[in-house]
Structure 1
Amino acid sequence: MEDSSLRMVINNSQFTIYNSQFLFRRFVKTDIEALAVLMAAVEAVDEGVGRPVAELAAELETALADLSETGWLAQIDTGEIVSYNYGETCGGAEANFWLRGAVHPAWRGQGVGYEVVRRSWADMRQKCSGKAWVNAWAYQHDQARCHLWSRFGLRPDHIYHEFEIPAAQVMPVPALPPGIVIRPWEQRHCAAAAALRNQAFAHNWGYQPTTAEALRRRFQTARYEPGFSFSAWRQLPSGEAQMIGVVHACLGWTRRLRRANEGEVVWLAVAEAERGQGVGRALMLTAMHALRAAGVEVISLGADSYADQPTIGLWPQLGFTLRKAIIDYRGAITGLQHTGDETVMARP
């Protein structure tokens, strides 16, 4: 084949063989299992873990509507899918999207990722009316992916830091100032904890106010676990006690915590007026010792910050080291970002 780009029409869908190497086509429902195989290969390399193909396929089933409307795939001549991308609808008045996709590690650096994103991008434009916001993510060290998002006009918005520490290295719990005590979690304190969190994080990036009922649901789904959650209280002159801090932790709940020996500190909040007295440190270490006593070998946590003001706060002081940093990108759909001909695109 001499032409580097051959177009054909099959079942009223446009297919393109790109550089005699890749077949770009729309997603169809029968692609679920093949996409799950691709996702497993990507996770094995990028995250060092492997999930069952059936589990990944079940996740993709929940995204069928978005995959069907904005999903594009790249195949090689063996029929193997080596890249995919789609726009996950996030809701909202402005039809926000998350770009979801990947390129097989063996086929990176050849422009295939750019091409599937370009096609999904065009579909997203047609799907929404007026201005729409698009979000995407990249590991901080993945310069190729960071560059890809910049080509589509997306800019760093905030950074998610993931930390870890061997449980054997957890420090002792420090003494607290007089009048402050740490207590095991009690469900009747959900309302006080919700009010504390809303006050403590009112000005933090992306924080959405919570409610007592929302906290109860997190315990019901094991996102938080009572045995690994604690609260800090100050004794008032009136004889009453006031909640001034809270920490929630759990055994490996999240999708990325797939090692059976891992626990996670999910949330820490300390009242603004009580900071600087060691309350946060004591709460953290109390939860960490509880996880260690349960048999975990690794303890992790995640923290967000603005991309232009990255902060990691208390965590290195407690012995945590950075596992990974993920940059979230954001931008508006203002037009197709491309160079050259509509069919043969420049390489990223």
Structure 2
Amino acid sequence: MYEKSSSLTWRPLTSEDARAGADLLNAMETVDKIGEKYDEEDTLQELIDPYAELERGSLAAFDGDVMVGYMKTNYKPGAEEVHRIFMDGGVHPDYRRQGIGTVLLKAGVAAAKELHALHHPTLKLVIDARRGEHIAGVAELFRSQGFAPARYYQHLEHPLGHAIPETAIPAGMRIEPWSKKNDEAFRMIRNEAFEDHWGMAPLPANSWASKITNHTFKPEVSFLLRDMTSGAPAGMLVTKYWEADTAATGVRNAHFMFIGTLRDYRKRGVASALIGHALRAAADQDYGRASVHVDSANPTGAFRIYEKAGFTSKRRFVCWALEV
């Protein structure tokens, strides 16, 4: 498959590759600087995703025991009209500009088509991949295979400390922390609040447990806002934390993974109240920073809400898309 380095071994990923995968991602971070570090548990969580199907949907290149490149696809369990398959991957800095990335990208497109034919053959297929805008060679690689920029995402950060704004809880509502009893309300809000967001699909219960409430989930910095009159949930905020990031930077970062408000409660200060409350909780629990990713074209005006709360943009990511 790969002519220039006959010494490389190519095979699908397995759950046994968690350590090698973390080593590769951390080597990539030294050059790409997207602000993400991994440990073995982090990569294992991605490898055991129930919608990855590694045998069909992944490929990795090894030089001896060292993983030097990989790609992995994830299909959507539920989709309407368009089935968006997400493709992740990368190449070790020492092995770039040798054609490995092209092999992996072509393999990813082929794998996405196979998974699509198995799970949503009657729908339109779009393959997405998100990469840091600043990473050298990425634009050329994706354009060479027919991908085009479809969306831009900002990575925003908040310094905590004295920069936390005072925000009031909307009248008639109360904030409550995550618990096993209200976990399903969190998932329901995520699915309903994001149904009008680009590229989003509902998360079933098993995917919610695998992707969200796993070892990186921080229940003590995750909150639900509830309507006291009806008892109905109005909005939620989910926080995640990666130990490997702290080990590398010395900073504990509270990442706000999801902030969602149900349509009937929008424009009433729900998101601002949740963000302010979570920022104070993070500061009180010795986090040194908070962060969030936001779609630059978010339909609910989220970018303005984060700016008002004291977040500033640090880097931008591009979602590359291929319509098949």
Per the TM superposition, whether the score is higher than 0.5 is yes
User: Aligned AA for 1:301?
Assistant: V
Number of the residue aligned with 2:30: 44
**In the alignment, does 2:233 pair up with 1:243?**
yes
Alpha-carbon deviation of 1:114?
Answer: 5.2
Q: CA RMSD in A?
A: 4.7
> C-alpha deviations, 1:85-104, integer Å up to 9, x for none?
44546477989572522141
Match among 285, 294, 302 for residue 294 of structure 1: 285
**In the alignment, does 2:220 pair up with 1:227?**
yes
Match among 96, 106, 112 for residue 99 of structure 2: 112
> C-alpha deviations, 1:207-244, integer Å up to 9, x for none?
333578876787863554442233323444xxx44432
Contact 2:27 2:92 (8 Å CA) reproduced: no
Match among 160, 164, 179 for residue 167 of structure 1: 160
Identity across the alignment (%): 19
Are residues 155 and 280 of structure 1, via their aligned partners in 2, closer, same or farther at CA, if it must alter by over 3 Å? same
Alpha-carbon deviation of 1:166?
Answer: 1.4
Contact 2:32 2:135 (8 Å CA) reproduced: no
User: Aligned AA for 1:229?
Assistant: S
Cα distance in 2 for partners of 1:296, 1:256 equals: 12
Number of the residue aligned with 2:87: 98
Cα distance in 1 for partners of 2:112, 2:190 equals: 38
**In the alignment, does 2:3 pair up with 1:16?**
yes
Contact 2:246 2:252 (8 Å CA) reproduced: no
Number of the residue aligned with 2:69: 84
Cα distance in 1 for partners of 2:295, 2:198 equals: 8
Cα distance in 2 for partners of 1:174, 1:326 equals: 29
Alignment partner of 1:16: what SS? coil
Cα distance in 1 for partners of 2:263, 2:293 equals: 21
**In the alignment, does 2:189 pair up with 1:206?**
no
Alignment partner of 2:318: what SS? strand
Contact 1:156 1:329 (8 Å CA) reproduced: yes
TM-score, L = length of structure 1:
0.65
User: Aligned AA for 1:295?
Assistant: D
Gaps spanning 5+ residues in structure 2: where? Answer: none
TM-score, L = length of structure 2:
0.69
Are residues 326 and 67 of structure 1, via their aligned partners in 2, closer, same or farther at CA, if it must alter by over 3 Å? farther
Gaps spanning 5+ residues in structure 1: where? Answer: 1-13, 334-348
Alignment partner of 2:272: what SS? helix
Contact 1:165 1:320 (8 Å CA) reproduced: yes
**In the alignment, does 2:133 pair up with 1:144?**
no
**In the alignment, does 2:251 pair up with 1:268?**
no
Q: Which segment is superposed worse, 155-164 or 180-189?
A: 180-189
Number of residue pairs aligned between Structure 1 and Structure 2: 306
Alpha-carbon deviation of 1:136?
Answer: 2.6
Alignment partner of 1:232: what SS? strand
Are residues 143 and 307 of structure 1, via their aligned partners in 2, closer, same or farther at CA, if it must alter by over 3 Å? farther
Higher alpha-carbon Rg? 1
Are residues 169 and 107 of structure 1, via their aligned partners in 2, closer, same or farther at CA, if it must alter by over 3 Å? farther
> C-alpha deviations, 1:160-214, integer Å up to 9, x for none?
3322111214424323454333344454334544444444333122333357887
Alpha-carbon deviation of 1:145?
Answer: 0.3
Cα distance in 1 for partners of 2:23, 2:150 equals: 31
Alpha-carbon deviation of 1:154?
Answer: 1.0
Cα distance in 2 for partners of 1:272, 1:216 equals: 24
Cα distance in 2 for partners of 1:124, 1:85 equals: 13
